[in-house]
Structure 1
Amino acid sequence: MTQGGPRPLDGIRVLALEQMQALPYATQLLARLGADVVKIEPPSGDSGRGSLPAMTDPDGRRVGATFLRNNLGKRSVCVDLKNPRGRELVLELAPRFDVVAENSKAGAMARLGLGHPDIAAVHPAGIYVSVSGFGNSVPTPYGGWPAFAPIVEAMSGIYELKRTGDRPPTVAPVGALGDIGAALFATIGILAALRHRDATGRGQYVDIAMLDSVIAMTDIVTNFWSMGLRGGQTGPLIMHGFRAQDGWFVLQVAREQHFTRLADLVGRPEWKDDPRLATRQGWVDELETLLRPAIEGWAADLTKLEACDLLGRAGIAAGPCLSDAEVVADPHVQARNMLVELPRTDGVEQPVLVPGSPVRMSEAPPAAETRPPWLGEHTDAVLAAELGLTGAALSELRTGKVIF
C-alpha cells in the first residue's frame, strides 16, 4: 500500500484496554485512519494471542490469528492492572489520550478502579468507550453473562430464522459478525463523541452492547415478525443459490422488471405470461418446479463467473460463491488492496493474510500498514515518553512485576 499524506484522525490518541476482536477491530480501523493507538495488555497478553491457528513471534511466543488480524498499526504496553501501581500508571496515562476504550466483561473495569467515573475524574474531556456483550449503562438480565460473537448472534434471532427442520443452527456462518458489528458501531460512537467534544469541549461515555449491534444488523428478524411473517419466512423473492458448470452462484430477483429480464436471458420468454409466475409469491412457489431447472439448465455450460457476468450485463444482481482460494486470487480483491501480507517470523513461507481497510478516501490515501506489536514491545518507550519515567524507574517497575 502507498504511503499517504495527512489522515483524518492524525493527532487523535487512543488508549485501548482491549482483547480478542470486538474492540480491537474498532481501534485498528481508527489506527488506519491516523489515530495513535496504544494497547494495554496484561502479563499474559491479549487473549486473542492465544487463539488458533497461530504463528510464533521472534521470542517463540504464540501469536494467534485473532490477534494478527485485529492489531495492525498499534503499540503494545504490558501492565498488570491488578497491581495498584499498574492501575496508577493507566490513570496517569489517560489524560494524555483523547479516547480510553475497554471491552472487558461488564463491570470488570469498575472493579479494577478503571471504570468511566475513575477515568472521568482525572480526564473530564476524555471519551470513555465500553464494548461488552450486553452493555454497562442499562440493567439487563444478561449483564453477568460472558459473550463471544456467536452467543449474541444466536440471541439476535438470525440463527433460528435461517435454521431448517430439526437441524442444529449453523454457528458463526459469516465469521465474527457479533464482534465486527460491535466494532463498527463503537467506531461510529467514537467519531460522533469526538465531534461532540469539538463543539462542546466535553467528554462522554459511549456504551456499546454486542447484542444491540447484532440486532441492528439482523434487522429483518424483528421487522419481518412485526409485519406478519413467521417461522423463518422472508419476503417473497428469488434469493437463492443455483448451480453452474463449476460451482454455485447466488441470484436475487425482487422486482418484476428484473424477472422479465431473467426470463429473456435464460430463454424462457413464456414466463412473462405464465399466470403461475404473475406474482412474486408465484416465483417462490414455482422455484423448484419451473425456475431452478431452467436457470440451472441455462448455466450448465457456463462457469459461475460467466453466468454472473451475463446476469450482471442484463441488470440482474448475481454473484459467484467463491472458495477461500478464489477470494485470495480474486482480481477485485487484488485491485482494491483488500489483503495485507504479514511476513511470518517462524520460518513459514506463506505470509499471513489480513483484510485491508475497506474505507477509501480521496483526500487521505492509505498509509503503509505496520505489523501487530509483539507483547509489551513498546512498554518502556511509551512510559518514558508519556510519563517521563527513567530507566531506573522502569527497571524498578519491572522488578516489582508492574510492567513486563
Structure 2
Amino acid sequence: MTTQNDGPNDAPNDEILRPLDGVRILAAEQMAALPFATQLLARLGAEVVKVEHPVTGDSGRGSQPFVTDPDGRQMGATFLRNNLNKRSVAIDLKHPEGVELFLRMAPGFDVVGENFRAGTADRLGIGYEAVRAVHPAVVYLSVSGFGQDPRSPYREMGAYAAVVEGMSGIYEYKRTPGRPPAANPVGALGDISSALFGAVGILAALRHRDLTGTGQHIDVAMLDSTVAMTDIVANFQSMGIEREWGSGVGIVETFEAADGHFVLQCVREHHFEVLMAEIGRPDLLDDERLATRAGWQDHLDDLLRPAIESWSTGRTLVEVVGTLSGAGIACGPSRTSAQVVADPHLGVRNMLIETLPSATGQPVLVPGNPVKLSEVPEAADARVPWLGEHTDEVLAAELGLSDGRLTDLRDRGVIGGT
C-alpha cells in the first residue's frame, strides 16, 4: 500500500514530467461522475481546482460513512474516494458575484467541467455558452444523467448511478426467476463509466484543439455511458435473449469450496470437456441433457452444481482455482472485502492508497490509479482538500484579489473557506 502526501498542494514528485503536466481544469463538481474523472486526470499530471459551495461543499462530503476534517466537518466516503490531488475553492455560484469570479477564472484553464442536472449550469450563468464567451478555446465537459439534448424525454430528470443502471436494463437482465431486480450490485457503475468516458472526451477534445485551435462542448450522459458498459443487454435482446437466466450462453456462476466460493466461467464445449474431466465426471459428457450450452444452464442446479461441488467442497479455494486455472478453465476466488484488502496483487500494483485515519484509527483506503505507464513512475497522492482550503490562494493568484477584497467577499457569503 502507498500512503498519501500530507499536504493537498504537494505536487507529487515535481521532478517527474507527467503526461498532463500543464493542463489546468476548473471543475464545478460533486459526488462521483465528474470528480472521479478529474481525479484520474490529476493523477496523470493535470492541475485541478474544485469549486464547492461555501457552506455545504461537494454533496459527496455528506455521504456515509465519514471521517472529520480538522474543523470537525464531515467528509464522506464518496468524497474521500474521488478528490485526491485537488485544490478546493469555496464560491457561491448562486450569487452573481460568485458567478463573476468563476467566469473571470475560466480563461486561465484549459478545461471547465460541471456535473449538475442538465440545464442547471446555464441557469446559474456558468454554462458552455457563458464560458465560451470569455474563453473561446475552452474544452467544456458536462456530465449529467441524460445529456443536454432537449429532445431526450429524460433531460430534466436527476440521476444517481443506480437510476441509470436500472434504466440500462442490466438489473432486469441479471434478475433470476422469483426475485426482484437487485439495485447497485457493483457499486457506482453509472458514475465511474461516465467519468471514464468524460476523461476520454477531455483528452480527445484537447488533442482536437491542439490540431485546430478550436475548443468544444463535451456532453456525456450517465445513461449512455452505462448502456455502453452493459452492452450485452441491447445486443442480446436484438438476438432474442431477454435475460441471462435461460439465455443458453453457458455457465457463469459461483460455486462452493471448502473455505469460500469461486467464480467459474465455462462457455465453450472444449472447456466443458476439460471441466468434467477435472472434477472426475467425464460420464456427464454422455448425458443428452448436457449436450448444449443451454442444457448446461438448464441443468445447473440439478446436475452440474452437485457434481462440481461434490468435488470442490473437499478442496480449498487455492486448490480449486489452481487445478481449474491450470487446466485452462476461467476460474477465480469470490473474495470478501477483508481478502481484497490483503490481496498481494493489489499491493504489488499499488492499488490501495492509505488516506486519512478513520474512526478506528486505521487509514481509510481508496483505490489507486489503474493506469500504469512504463516511462512515468507513480507518484504519491496528495490528500483530499478541506472545504475551501485554497480559496484565498487561488483567487489571489488567478485574479489578483487583495486580502481586503477577499475578506469583503467572505463577509458577504460570496466565498468561504481558508
Deviation at 1:285, TM superposition (A): 2.8
Query: Which of 317, 338, 341 is equivalent to 1:328?
Result: 341
Query: Which of 66, 69, 73 is equivalent to 1:54?
Result: 66
Deviation at 1:164, TM superposition (A): 2.7
Query: Which of 191, 202, 217 is equivalent to 1:179?
Result: 191
Deviation at 1:168, TM superposition (A): 2.5
CA distance in 2, matches of 1:182, 1:206: 12
Aligned match of 1:42: 53
Tell whether 2:293 aligns with 1:280. yes
CA distance in 1, matches of 2:102, 2:235: 43
Q: Deviations over 1:320-358 (max 9, x none)?
A: 1111111101111111111100132x7641111101111
Query: Which of 2, 12, 15 is equivalent to 2:26?
Result: 15
CA distance in 2, matches of 1:347, 1:147: 31
Deviation at 1:368, TM superposition (A): 0.9
CA distance in 2, matches of 1:357, 1:180: 13
CA distance in 1, matches of 2:149, 2:253: 41
Deviation at 1:234, TM superposition (A): 3.1
SS in 2 for 1:243: strand
Amino acid at match of 2:153: P
CA distance in 2, matches of 1:381, 1:80: 17
CA distance in 2, matches of 1:203, 1:252: 45
Tell whether 2:173 aligns with 1:161. yes
Deviation at 1:231, TM superposition (A): 4.5
Aligned match of 2:303: 290
Query: Which of 35, 41, 60 is equivalent to 1:30?
Result: 41
Tell whether 2:213 aligns with 1:207. no
Amino acid at match of 1:108: T
| 1:132-151 aligned within 5 A | 132-151=144-163
SS in 1 for 2:141: strand
Amino acid at match of 1:313: G
Amino acid at match of 1:349: G
Aligned match of 1:198: 210
TM-score (norm 1): 0.96
CA distance in 2, matches of 1:142, 1:289: 44
Deviation at 1:89, TM superposition (A): 0.6
Aligned match of 2:264: 251
Amino acid at match of 2:249: P
Residue pair 2:190, 2:225 contacting (<8 A) in 1 also:
yes
Residue pair 2:62, 2:74 contacting (<8 A) in 1 also:
yes
Residue pair 2:149, 2:155 contacting (<8 A) in 1 also:
no
Q: Deviations over 1:73-109 (max 9, x none)?
A: 0000000111111101110110110100000011001
| 1:358-373 aligned within 5 A | 358-373=370-385
SS in 2 for 1:167: coil
SS in 1 for 2:82: coil
Residue pair 2:248, 2:295 contacting (<8 A) in 1 also:
no
Deviation at 1:287, TM superposition (A): 2.1
CA distance in 2, matches of 1:332, 1:257: 30
Aligned match of 1:98: 110
CA distance in 1, matches of 2:322, 2:314: 14
Question: Structure 1 residues 9-18 or 288-297, which shifts more?
Answer: 288-297
Residue pair 2:33, 2:195 contacting (<8 A) in 1 also:
yes
Deviation at 1:306, TM superposition (A): 2.4
Query: Which of 335, 359, 363 is equivalent to 1:351?
Result: 363
Aligned match of 1:317: 330
Aligned match of 2:87: 75
Q: Deviations over 1:131-175 (max 9, x none)?
A: 000101342111111110101111111111122334322110000
Residue pair 1:305, 1:319 contacting (<8 A) in 2 also:
no
SS in 2 for 1:214: helix
CA distance in 2, matches of 1:167, 1:311: 31
CA distance in 2, matches of 1:343, 1:179: 23
Residue pair 2:28, 2:115 contacting (<8 A) in 1 also:
yes
